[in-house]
């Protein structure tokens, strides 16, 4: 069984693409983290919301129309928020508090949990870093299942609570992802047999990502997280409700902020669902702006099928109502797509696009 680390071994990272700077020791944004002052990707421009005051729809998962609303939101925007999602608020608070506990440590303690060059889990800068000339005002901690190995390095005696909370949170996120996936399939009129549901659920290669965006001395120069799409099938994000920063790109409208809503979780379509939906659902481009007033925290769960699962446009969608609809993507093994994305970032989707 291929693992995510195996998928990444062909693209090992340089040390500078793993270890973040010690943000606390900088009173100004250093050159290495100063993005251009002009142009579309200039952080200064990013701070001014260009779009209207559109807000991302919030969907009550217990409502009778939930399936229809989730389907519409996937189709029209690729991003939405969910409420009454069944994740206890006490667990959300706990996972946040454990994440703070880790990111508040001095830099020398955090690097004990650093990702290895070919590895997938542990502490480090964002995986997309090598594709950009400048570094981001961000540090992260990635886990797949138990974070024991890394947590023990950081807290030789006090790792149990951290591990328990992170494992518990991943279990709950997996269940919520499956619930959302089942709703999406219903919306599409696809039966669970059409996508080999038992195997899809059997051994997912999902990951939990803690993101920290320290308070930035000059948010007009720095980038929280550069624009990207998620490789996942879908992503469920919890953002700390006191600091905003997430924006998504809306076709024809520009960048729109996703303002934190107490108790709601943000859900977005990733590349794999985009592929399986035969491009009916957009894989939403999003980014994070730096925050000059507060330290921001977010916790993302990337739901992915098993590494040896084949993804491609779902058969039922290319055979809609007896008519054949052209498949827009070649099918590909999850492991190969993850590898392709690690090497080519935003070019990966076009490499498997047909026509």
Residues that bind ligand AKG (CB under 6 A): 209, 211, 225, 230, 237, 239, 246, 286, 288, 298, 300
Report the partner that residue 268 touches, choosing among ligand AKG, Fe ion, none (CB closer than 5 to 8 A by kind).
Answer: none
The single residue of 296, 304, 328, 353 carrying the catalytic annotation is: 296
What is the closest distance, in whole angstroms, from the C-beta atom of residue 283 to Fe ion in the complex? 10
Q: Find the residue with minimal CB distance to ligand AKG.
A: 298
User: 101-107: which pairs have CB atoms within 8 A and are 24 or more residues apart?
Assistant: 101/162, 102/141, 102/154, 102/162, 102/210, 103/139, 103/141, 103/210, 103/212, 103/295, 103/297, 105/154, 106/22, 107/20, 107/22, 107/24, 107/25
What is the closest distance, in whole angstroms, from the C-beta atom of residue 127 to ligand AKG in the complex? 9
Return the number of the residue (206 or 278) whose C-beta is nearest ligand AKG: 206
Return the number of the residue (119 or 300) whose C-beta is nearest ligand AKG: 300
Q: Considering only CA atoms, which of 251, 222, 225 is closest in space to residue 239?
A: 225
Asked if residues 122 and 142 have their Cβ atoms less than 8 Å apart, the reply is yes
What is the closest distance, in whole angstroms, from the C-beta atom of residue 15 to ligand AKG in the complex? 21
Residue indicated by tokens 């779009």: 51
What is the closest distance, in whole angstroms, from the C-beta atom of residue 288 to ligand AKG in the complex? 5
Tokens of 50: 């260009």
Q: At what angle do helices 160-188 and 89-103 cross, to 10 degrees?
A: 130
Q: How many CB atoms within 10 Å of residue 333?
A: 18
Distance of CA 49 to CAs 249, 256, 286, Å? Answer: 11, 7, 14
What is the closest distance, in whole angstroms, from the C-beta atom of residue 234 to ligand AKG in the complex? 12
Report the partner that residue 139 touches, choosing among ligand AKG, Fe ion, none (CB closer than 5 to 8 A by kind).
Answer: none
Return the number of the residue (125 or 276) whose C-beta is nearest ligand AKG: 125
Burial zone of 323 (CB within 10 Å; 0-12 exposed, 13-18 middle, 19+ buried): exposed
Report the partner that residue 81 touches, choosing among ligand AKG, Fe ion, none (CB closer than 5 to 8 A by kind).
Answer: none
> Would you tell me which residues interact with Fe ion (CB under 5 A)?
230
Return the number of the residue (280 or 297) whose C-beta is nearest ligand AKG: 297
Return the number of the residue (246 or 338) whose C-beta is nearest ligand AKG: 246
Active site residue 296: yes
- Tell me the catalytic residues: 296
């Amino acid at each position: 069984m291929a693992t995510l680390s195996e998928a990444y071994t062909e693209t090992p990272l340089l040390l500078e693409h793993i270890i973040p700077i010690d943000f606390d020791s900088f009173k100004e944004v250093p050159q290495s983290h100063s993005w251009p002052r002009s142009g579309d990707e200039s952080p200064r421009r990013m701070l001014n919301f260009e779009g209207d005051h559109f807000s991302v729809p919030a969907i009550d998962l217990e409502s009778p129309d939930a399936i229809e609303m989730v389907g519409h939101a996937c189709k029209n925007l690729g991003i939405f928020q969910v409420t009454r999602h069944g994740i206890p608020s006490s667990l959300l608070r706990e996972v946040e508090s454990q994440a703070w506990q880790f990111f508040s440590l001095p830099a020398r303690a955090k690097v004990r949990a650093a990702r290895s060059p070919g590895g997938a889990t542990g502490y480090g800068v964002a995986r997309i870093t090598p594709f950009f000339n400048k570094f981001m005002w961000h540090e992260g901690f990635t886990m797949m299942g138990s974070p024991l190995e890394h947590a023990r390095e950081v807290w030789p005696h006090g790792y149990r609570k951290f591990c328990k909370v992170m494992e518990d949170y991943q279990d709950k996120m997996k269940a919520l992802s499956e619930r959302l996936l089942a709703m999406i399939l219903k919306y599409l009129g696809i039966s669970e047999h059409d996508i080999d549901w038992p195997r899809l659920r059997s051994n997912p290669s999902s990951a939990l990502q803690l993101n920290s965006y320290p308070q930035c001395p000059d948010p007009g120069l720095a980038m929280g997280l550069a624009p990207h799409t998620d490789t996942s099938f879908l992503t469920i994000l919890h953002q700390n409700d006191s600091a905003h920063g997430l924006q998504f790109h809306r076709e024809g409208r520009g960048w729109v902020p996703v303002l934190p809503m107490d108790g709601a979780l943000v859900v977005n379509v990733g590349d794999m669902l985009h592929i399986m939906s035969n491009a009916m659902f957009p894989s939403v481009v999003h980014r994070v702006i730096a925050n000059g007033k507060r330290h921001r925290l977010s916790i993302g769960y990337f739901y992915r099928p098993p590494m040896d699962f084949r993804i491609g446009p779902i058969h039922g969608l290319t055979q809609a109502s007896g008519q054949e609809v052209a498949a827009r993507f070649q099918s590909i093994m999850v492991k190969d797509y993850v590898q392709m994305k690690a090497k080519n970032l935003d070019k990966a989707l076009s490499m498997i696009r047909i026509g």
